[in-house]
Amino acid sequence: MIPYGRQEINQADIDAVVDVLKSDYLTQGPKVPAFEQAIASLCSVRFGVAVNSATSALHIACLALDVGPNDRVWTSPITFVASANCALYCGAEVDFVDVDPRSGNMCPKALAIKLEQAAKTATLPKVVIPVHLCGHSCDMAAIATLAKHYGFSIIEDASHGIGGSYNGYPIGSCKYSDITVFSFHPVKIITSAEGGIAMTNCDNLAERMALYRSHGITKDTHKMKRPDEGDWYYEQLELGFNYRMTELQAALGLSQLERLSFFVESRNELACAYAKQLDSHNLKLVLPLPISLSAWHLMIIRLPTPQFRRKIFDQMRNAGIQVHVHYFPVHLQPYYLQKGFAVGNFPQAERFYEQILTLPLYPGLVSNDVQRISTLLKDFIAS
């Protein structure tokens, strides 16, 4: 079975983890801050706060921006549920913004219309979370312009996007946002087995996220009520969580980071190979904006005959090709239906979901694999 995505682990990765296992630190040591600094340098951003998952990063990002009860957070309906759940963890209300049917990303025009309506009813969001589907950046300049006008903060959910860029800036630079989140899940661009990181240029946000990831505890004497208690002493300042990244994860992440350029280049080459194979068969690829470089986490196509998707899906799976679908609209999940969302709320997202199919894409894939996958897909569509 050719999977839709998979990690690539080499001997250097294994050696990096073994070195940590032989060291004095398994949980908190020098590797975690080294990993944070390496990602920050890559993204030309001031701070990185590493955690145990991108879900945790989204949660502490919301907390650092003071999201709470009576606040509203808007995100995309075409994403993994964590992009919305993170606001619910804080007690906020969640709503969605419809997508651009060509990209599946949050549509700035739909956002502008929704914001104008919300301004009239005093229901503006405190935070908007655009999601960079496939690693393709949203139109962040347009969204940032709206943020300045309406006064909301932005968290970029760039779980798919490390190694990409938009308008000449690395994704993660926070040029157009307050915080950007990356994921290091095994099928993402680089992996730390599990893990995530929140990037920011703001001292206060970085400090608060670092506090929330570790039980709300500090050993900084400048922040303590009892600074002279002793070196053993710590104080809890907030209700935090155990979201810390381990040394083992950071070591693997640092090793993987050395091959990030290769991974992104390989994914872009494979995307081009798919485009050549499928271009003449009325199969539309979900493509990045012209002013961006995508990390190409996912290869999503839009089928010309979406009513036959299940048949094509089953045929591809039976042929040993693990196609997938990313994503079922969040607002139609049973949990969110119970909150009052319904079919028809976000028609472009619903239509996009009905059309899409995810094809395998990862650096270990070779050109012959792409040709075989493409040929089978075209044959099944034509049959």
Residue 3 domain-assigned (yes or no): no
Q: Assign residue 329 the CATH number of its domain.
A: 3.90.1150.10
Same domain, 290 and 231: no
Confidence (pLDDT) at 377: 95
Q: Report pLDDT for 282.
A: 75
Q: Can you give the pLDDT at residue 370?
A: 97
pLDDT single digits (tens) 262-280: 999 999 999 999 999 998 7
Residue 53 CB partners (closer than 8 Å, separation 6+): 183, 185, 194, 195, 196, 243
State the pLDDT at residue 383.
Answer: 84
8 A C-beta contact, residue 157 and residue 81: no
Do 133 and 185 lie in one domain? The reply is: yes
Domain boundary among 257, 278, 304: 257
Query: What is the value of pTM for the model shown?
Result: 0.97
Q: What pLDDT is attached to residue 279?
A: 83
The answer to whether position 4 is within a domain reads no
270 and 190, same structural domain?
no
- pLDDT tens, 11-43? 999 999 999 999 999 999 999 999 999 999 999
Those residues whose C-beta lies under 8 Å from the C-beta of residue 346, and which sit 6 or more positions away, are: 77, 96, 97, 98, 99, 329, 331
Q: What pLDDT is recorded for position 283? A: 86
According to the model, what pLDDT value does residue 306 have?
Answer: 85
Residue whose entry in the numeric block shows the structure tokens 């190409």: 296
281 and 155 together in one domain: no
Nearest-CA neighbor of 108 among 71, 154, 150, 141?
A: 141
**Alpha-carbon 214 to chain mean position:** 22
Tokens 């879900």 map to which residue? 55
Sites in the chain below the pLDDT cut of 70 = 281
Residues of the domain holding 281:
260-382
Burial class (CB in 10 A: 0-12, 13-18, 19+), 44: middle
Question: For residue 73, what is the DSSP state?
Answer: E
Pair 24, 166 in one domain: yes
Residue 233 confidence (pLDDT): 94
The pLDDT value recorded for residue 293 is: 98
- Considering the domain boundaries, does residue 6 fall inside one? no
Side-chain half-sphere of 342: how many Cα atoms within 13 Å? 2
